[in-house]
Amino acid sequence: MLKLPEGITALLFDLDGVVTQTAKLHSAAWKEMFDAFLRERAEQTGEPFEEFTPSDYDRYVDGRPRLDGVRTFLAARGIEQDDELVSRLGDRKNELVLKLIRERGVDVYDSSIDLIKEAQREGLRRAVVSSSANTREVLKSVGIEELFEAVVDGLVARSEGLPGKPAPDTFLAGARALGAEPTQAAVFEDALAGVEAGRAGGFGWVVGVNRTGQREALAEHGADIVVDDLSELIER
């Protein structure tokens, strides 16, 4: 049995960092891309090189659509930007993360899969809501695509004109795809932007998954409960 509030009929899962261990690959790709850009810029301008940090990842890019992450980080550093630069950096980041996925493979969080399978047995509806354009590829690579009834990813968001997290629109689309009202749906997120999206959408329960020591920040950004692992929500 799952430890869920009464009235929850649908579960909306972020992918990277909640279901799969790809968040660390995304973080590494962002760092490699931005550090190369910042180092080249420092050489051109004579300004000191300041590396891309784990805090930068958490605050500016984690959970956001790729181009939004580029824009948010550049703005935070006061770097002038245009569409060409944003697109070039975003494309480079995507190339790097796909390379890492091919080289290292994708691991899942076993306890998350246990929870999703238990939800399936209990008749709860299930969807993945991710800003990644590579969501279906990742799901297929680890053989868990059929555990979910709907996928709202970066490609869907782009085709339907949905703003990305921290706006709630992609989660709202996920709930609609499952035939659930927001108050009937639980959101599972490890990113601060994703937790904000869950709170902004008026969802019935927002679960913050603390993978990187962000317990207090997840709560501050709107999580109703913060867990270190989804096994905490399975009644043994």
- pLDDT score for 3: 97
| Residue the block writes with tokens 């969802």 | 203
CB neighbours of 63 closer than 8 A, spacing ≥ 6? 14, 131, 165, 166, 189, 190, 191, 192, 193, 194, 197
228 is catalytic: no
Burial of 59 (0-12, 13-18, 19+ CB in 10 A): middle
Cα–Cα distance, 6 to 39 (Å, whole number): 52
107 is catalytic: no
Which candidate in 16, 56, 58, 62 is catalytic? Answer: 16
- pLDDT score for 105: 87
- pLDDT score for 185: 98
* Residue positions counted in the chain: 236
Instruction: List, run by run, the mean pLDDT of 10-residue segments along the chain (236 residues).
Output: 97 96 91 98 96 95 93 97 97 94 91 97 97 90 95 95 96 98 98 96 98 94 97 93
Cα–Cα distance, 192 to 63 (Å, whole number): 7
Domains and CATH numbers, the chain: 10-21+107-233 (3.40.50.1000), 24-104 (1.10.150)
CA-based R_g, the chain, Å = 18
> Which phi and psi (to 5°) does residue 118 adopt?
-65, -40
| Residue the block writes with tokens 């207090």 | 216
Q: Which two tokens stand for residue 77?
A: 């550093």
User: Which residue, 28, 140, 158, 188, is CA-closest to 93?
Assistant: 28
Return the number of other C-beta atoms located less than 10 Å from residue 213's C-beta.
10
